């Protein structure tokens, strides 16, 4: 089987003038090397395609018709817009080329944390109270009590998440939302702050065939930014974070977290493999936070 690889290589964007923060979600060379080596070890041929512009160039080339990929292994994050993770899958759909991981609908929906939580909440899956703040004045509509937790509505890799994301006084919420809307040029999601344990649940499969791969607890070490799994903590996870494998048989919260994650995965229509993030409230009850259908 000839398998093409689509990805956003961080070094290419850095060379083009983008900074470390802008490229935080993109892949390093060793990630692409590992994927390619694994696929070849399974007996497949591979072709490195690259990002969306490079994909379009391949599709437009005269040689493409005679060298069509049987499958595309897609980990491209995209750069611009709420549909950026959906762009490569949408193009591949247009050419009827099979690809790994979720489709354009799921990719667009799950990038918007507010829309995702609305679907999850309406389906009866536990998630914290929230409101999407489109403009600073919307902060006055927050109906639940502090402390609040704020972050951009459509970023990944902890972008916008710092210890200041925890807002303990309602009087600070307006200004905090105003500053974040200005900085990220997008709405802000305001959530009830969840102070409990945090888990990330790996899932493999689609629909009724989906199953739990494993669950790790995110534990912040000495020196880490406290109380939040922030951008800094993620970027320097080797020194600041412990990822501890936990078993559902031994810990009731883990069992419930896995049940919530699997339900959310199926409700949202996620495909193949990914990750669901869970955090517990002050009573220790697990709540859905978000899903990553392109989990790193």
Q: Which of 148, 91, 84 is nearest to 112 (CA)?
A: 84
| Mean pLDDT across 5-16 | 96
List of residues 6+ apart from 118 with CB closer than 8 A: none
63 pLDDT higher than 80 = no
Look at residue 226 and give its three-state secondary structure.
coil
List of residues 6+ apart from 159 with CB closer than 8 A: 21, 24, 25, 152, 184, 231
Radius of gyration of the chain (CA): 20
CATH (residue range 198-292): 3.30.470.20
65 pLDDT higher than 70 = no
Give the C-alpha separation, 189 to 87, whole Å: 24
Q: C-alpha distances in angstroms, 234 versus 220, 221, 242? A: 10, 12, 11
Q: State the chain's mean pLDDT as an integer.
A: 96
What DSSP state is assigned to residue 208? G
How far, in whole angstroms, is CA 105 from its chain's centroid? 15
CATH of 129-192, one of 3.30.565.10, 3.30.1490.20, 3.40.980.10, 2.40.160.10: 3.30.1490.20
pLDDT band at 250 (very low <50, low <70, confident <90, very high): confident
List pLDDT tens digits, range 266-281. Answer: 999 999 999 999 999 9
Residue 155: predicted pLDDT? 94
In the chain, CATH 3.30.470.20 sits at 198-292
Q: Which of 283, 291, 280 is nearest to 254 (CA)?
A: 280
Task: With residue 72 as reference, give the H or E element that holds it.
Answer: strand 71-74
Topology (CATH level 3) of domain 2-100: Rossmann fold (3.40.50)
62 pLDDT higher than 70 = no
Residue 295: predicted pLDDT? 75
237 pLDDT higher than 80 = yes
**Do 27 and 75 meet the contact criterion of CB atoms below 8 Å apart?**
yes
In the chain, CATH 3.40.50.20 sits at 2-100
Q: Which of 262, 145, 155 is nearest to 199 (CA)?
A: 262
The reply to whether the predicted model has a pTM over 0.85 is: yes
130 pLDDT higher than 90 = yes
In the chain, CATH 3.30.1490.20 sits at 129-192
| Mean pLDDT across 84-91 | 98
Question: Residue 147, preceding bond cis, omega within 30 degrees?
Answer: yes
């Amino acid at each position: 089987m000839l398998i093409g690889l689509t990805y956003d290589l961080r070094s290419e964007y850095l060379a083009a003038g983008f900074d470390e923060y802008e490229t935080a979600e993109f892949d390093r060379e060793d990630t692409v090397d590992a994927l390619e080596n694994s696929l070849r070890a399974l007996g497949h041929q591979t072709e490195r395609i690259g990002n969306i512009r490079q994909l379009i160039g391949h599709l437009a080339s005269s040689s493409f018709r005679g060298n069509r990929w049987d499958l595309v292994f897609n980990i491209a994050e995209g750069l611009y817009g709420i549909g950026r993770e959906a762009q490569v899958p949408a193009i591949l759909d247009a050419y009827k080329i099979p690809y790994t991981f979720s489709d354009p609908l799921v990719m667009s929906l799950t990038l918007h944390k507010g829309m995702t939580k609305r679907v999850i909440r309406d389906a009866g899956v536990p998630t914290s109270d929230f409101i999407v703040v489109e403009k600073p004045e919307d902060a006055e509509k927050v109906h639940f009590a502090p402390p609040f937790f704020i972050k951009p509505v459509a970023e990944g890799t902890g972008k916008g998440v710092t210890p200041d994301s925890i807002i303990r006084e309602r009087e600070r919420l307006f200004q905090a939302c105003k500053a974040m809307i200005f900085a990220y040029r997008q709405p802000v999601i305001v959530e009830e702050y969840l102070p409990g344990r945090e888990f990330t649940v790996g899932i493999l499969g689609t629909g009724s065939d989906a199953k739990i791969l494993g669950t790790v607890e995110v534990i912040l070490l000495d020196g880490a930014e406290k109380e939040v799994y922030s951008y800094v903590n993620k970027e320097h996870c080797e020194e600041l974070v412990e990822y501890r494998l936990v078993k559902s048989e031994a810990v009731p919260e883990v069992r419930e977290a896995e049940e919530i994650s699997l339900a959310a995965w199926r409700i949202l229509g996620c495909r193949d493999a990914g990750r669901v993030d869970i955090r517990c409230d002050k009573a220790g009850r697990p709540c859905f936070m978000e899903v990553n259908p392109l989990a790193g």
